[in-house]
Amino acid sequence: LLMLYASSASTFTTAAFSAAFSAVATNRPDTSNIRELLLSDVPLLDVRAPVEYEAGSIIPATINIPILNNEERHEIGICYKEHGQEAAIVLGNQLVTGTLKADRMKQWAEFARSNPDGYLYCFRGGLRSRTVQEWLELETGIRYPLIEGGYKKMRQFLMDELERSLDPERSDLIIIAGKTGVGKTRVIDHLGPQRSIDLEGLAHHRGSSFGDTPEDIRQQSISQIDFENSISMSLLKLLAAADSPTDDDMRQRERTRVYVEDEGSRIGRFTLPHTLWTGMKQCNKLVIVDEDLEDRVTMILEDYIFDYGRRFVALYGEELGPVLHREKMLGDLARIRNKKLGSENLARLTGIMGSAFDEQESSGDTALHRVWISDLLSQYYDPMYEYQLSQRVDPEVLFRGKCNEVSQWAANN
């Protein structure tokens, strides 16, 4: 696709507007140092069309203010294929002109003023980003740097970096394992991004059959590519921080421990990158979280009934929120298909869950929720966990204990 190029004609320049932005740094060069750029978390201005941005972006420090909307991009693409480059350039300048151009110029300039350390980019660092860069400089006096190679180069860097980060000579993966409800995610939260990768947090999903969060059900704005980019960026930052010498330890560790929660190949609607999933399957170093059944039921009750209930109400209100929460939980249960659970047990648990929501609504009593949670753990999740653990080759259990004990051990090892 040929993107439109800058035209010398302008209706946007005014002395007052130019003066307002003249203080923005104008001498920073364009950059091709993707590693430094991503580690610094500088704000990024993505001028690709919305459809491109939604398919994959460098998050979270990115805002999309396109030079061409989806329809304009499509129209120019057809023109280029049928009539060639020169005709596409002419059409681009006809489409983005007047008040439309002025409005986009204003948004770009406001971004530059608010983010004087940022950069802009398009897909390849070509005509679209250079057009925005030239328009800004000509009409506002702002010389805003771009990323050479654009999004394509950043995406390739992140995929290559993921391979490098997961090299066994570079990082030492440790799997936090344990039955459903023992608090594995709480261990990850305790360790934080300096020691662990929160895969479920990046996926906006809790990993189980009931794991879709209320917010993601509503928005579903994160793409598979976003998910992959986020994992690579998290690893990049974790390893970069570990490589930095400190007053306590001036020697760089040869291999950095990276804790991840035991997961399947998919978390909700996202698929783990092949390199990561392969590394997790082959990893034999485990830290196992153990909790008794009653404590696990309490933890799941808090996460999926109380916490989800509050979040549904916050999103949809006191009347609709509880209805949608109930529908979500019953729908998730209905999607469980497993021979060990069986259709009769599934129907029985569905009835108990429905009655539990009725009882909770009428009296606030959640005792019936504990019944279906306990049965589902013992009849479905626990056998599945035992089977998956048995498939690991020569597992080495580095530590085993309750959630708080594992959190403390992992933080110190």
Task: Give me the active site residues, please.
Answer: 122
Q: What values do phi and psi take at 412, rounded to 5?
A: -105, 5
The tokens of 108 are what? 């770009």
- Bridge partners, 64 (sequence order): 46
The tokens of 382 are what? 């626990």
CA distance 33 to 148: 9
Residue 248: exposed, middle, or buried by beta-carbon count in 10 A (0-12, 13-18, 19+)? exposed
Contact 147, 125 (CB under 8 A): yes
Task: Please calculate the CA angle 6-114-156 and round it to the nearest 5 degrees.
Answer: 65
Using alpha carbons, list the distances in angstroms from residue 182 to 8, 110, 190, 369, 374.
64, 48, 14, 17, 13
CA distance 227 to 248: 34
